Structure 1
Amino acid sequence: MAAVFAALHAGRGPAAGGGAAAHAVTGSTRDMVRLTGRMDRAMLALAARHEPRRRAPDLWGRPPGWGDLDLSAVPDLGFASAADRTAQEINALRPASLLPIRPMRPFVLPATGADGARALQCLSQAVYYEAAREPLKGQQAVAQVVLNRLRHPAYPKSVCGVVYQGAARVSGCQFTFTCDGALRFTPQAALWSRAQAVARRALSGFVLKDVGSATHYHADYVAPYWAPTLVKLGQVGAHIFYRWTGPWGEPPAFTGRYLGGEANLTQAVLQGADPRIGNLLAPEAQGILAGRTVTLAVAGEVRTYTIADPKAEGGRRTRVLGAIYAPRRRPTPDEVREINASLVDLETRLDEKRPDPPASSSPAPAAPPAP
């Protein structure tokens, strides 16, 4: 800064008593730090005012780059175009939950015959096309996610329904291989046999405790937008696994029952989307549930939510905060019967509203035995 040195020489020349020391200034960074450290703020401001070089704008304490921010465009963190290494760093910055991972109950496929064969085929495809070259535990984790979804109320109630959910959508298929053309390639025999073995064991009751109640995962070289909205459980192989937040992601919430009909992939399934990004329920189901309340209890805090009518003006959901209660207690047998009765009533009314499936020339699969 030439102006700073000029100010120093003006105040510390021989006439001012500076002597020879005043002329020992070389202009190095070390001299600049040493000399400016002896200047008061007024002198620094005066020197900067006469600095001939272009000065940076005063950002008033804002981060560097603020002056060049283009407010005409939506701010972008760059996740969509992040390089592999950048995505891995972003994923590493997001810590895994410190809560213990609760394992799921074993699932044994109650179907046999054609339904059983189709279920094994679909699960084998998911394991193969999603994790063919992953270690054994990585493949088992993918199979566990499929079966977790099957038992969660938010997803279809057949193995093929879970795997092919959203496959007919332009975007939003739940398992990428069902909509990106990967099925055109014939599986390698050895890897396919391994995937089948993993799927067969999963359908016979094997449980991988490492991923617990996970319903989502992604490769570690991508950083999807939805990852921060879920609870990160950890990484197995090249995939990072997540569960839903709150009670919705804990094993007691996985109350769905296998319904079979593996070959009956309706448009509702093929066009279905993840509840996190919309289409939570069909329009007719939303009409039935409108006005009902849902109470969630987490760690002793109870909150009640009112489900909004989607046809109401604005479509906003009304939230009613509950009181803070003592830690949760176990429901009484009467309360359990009342809850089960209300669920049966709800399912009955949903079935009445649901359109009949299209006629098929092949005979309908036999109803599976009650689990």
Structure 2
Amino acid sequence: MTTPSPLLDRPGAVEGGGADAQVASHYGDPFREQRLLMDGHAVVDLSNRGVVTVSGPDRLSWLNTLSSQLLLGLRPGQSSETLLLTVQGRIEFSIHLVDDGATAWLITEGGEAAPLAAWLDRMKFMLRVEVTDATEAWAVLGATRALPELGDDVIAWEDPWPAIGVGGYAYSTIGDGEHPGRERPWFEYLVPRDALDAVVTGTGLALAGSLAAEALRIAAWRPRAGFETDEKTIPHELDLMRTAVHLAKGCYKGQETVARVHNLGHPPRRLTFLHLDGSQHTLPAMGSPVLSEGRTVGRVTSVGHHYEMGPIALAVLKRSVDATADLLVQDGEEMYAAGQEVIVAPDAGQVVGRATGFLRGPR
């Protein structure tokens, strides 16, 4: 996205920073916006996200050969999540994908759209596909419910999180029905960018800022590309095996690492949820080190202030960190006590010959 969102002209709008620059972080009352969004009475401006389209009769079979998810037979309107990996199995691109019967719509982080489109374009060879960076033409709106207010023809991506997909596997420590992500359904709607302001007005819904959306995402244990990921991240570390990887599909780049870690090894790091000490009036910065017994054992990847739970965060820790240990988050001179709630189990992986353990396959 090259220009700020027109919704920043709304009363009370305060622009966000970092990956959420050019959209509003809030409109004057972040906690109220969070409650409205959670209850389905607000939408959030995600027009800083990138949109790439892939058209042509070979689009799904072609994307299927490149990515981690089984995309063959994807029905019009059906949503999926997939990853493009390096040869070492590290996450290169994270994609929210929905096909409308003629075009596959790929939603990414804003800075990833142009590199993704360029990467895909190089991989076309002689196939009947056409790749377009459509970010300048299309904007994204987020909501926690289906929005009939947008009409029947709107293109919508429904987040599969946290359901364990066919061919997927859960690396978390709790049952699927108990997962906190169940409390946060999530939809991303594609609307013409030049009509964004009018579309939002037409819904009659309130606007929530990125702070509200991020707090709900963190509480749902939902990883976000560029936040929970870095240049070394593999899907197992973030519990993305449940929604973004099909363990029984054909060959794709990075599959060998995915299979080897899942069957015979353990991911070197694990995602965890942190309850932060709320006695301070500040929050630690993203990237702040996480300490255990004076040693740095990981980093904070996302942080927010939830309207019910208070200060919360996601962090990526070394697998060896005791799952019951009390932790500290250090941000300069400030220290924040942090109680951890395990997301990815310390014994995740190594499923071959495994009789017991935390892990659960699909029901």
Question: Which fold has the larger relative contact order, with Cα–Cα distance below 8 Å and residues 6 or more apart in sequence?
Answer: 2
Q: TM-score band, normalised by the shorter chain?
A: under 0.3
Larger radius of gyration: 1
TM-score normalised by L of structure 1: 0.27
- Whichever structure has more helix as a proportion of its residues is 1
TM-score normalised by L of structure 2: 0.27
- Whichever structure has more strand as a proportion of its residues is 2
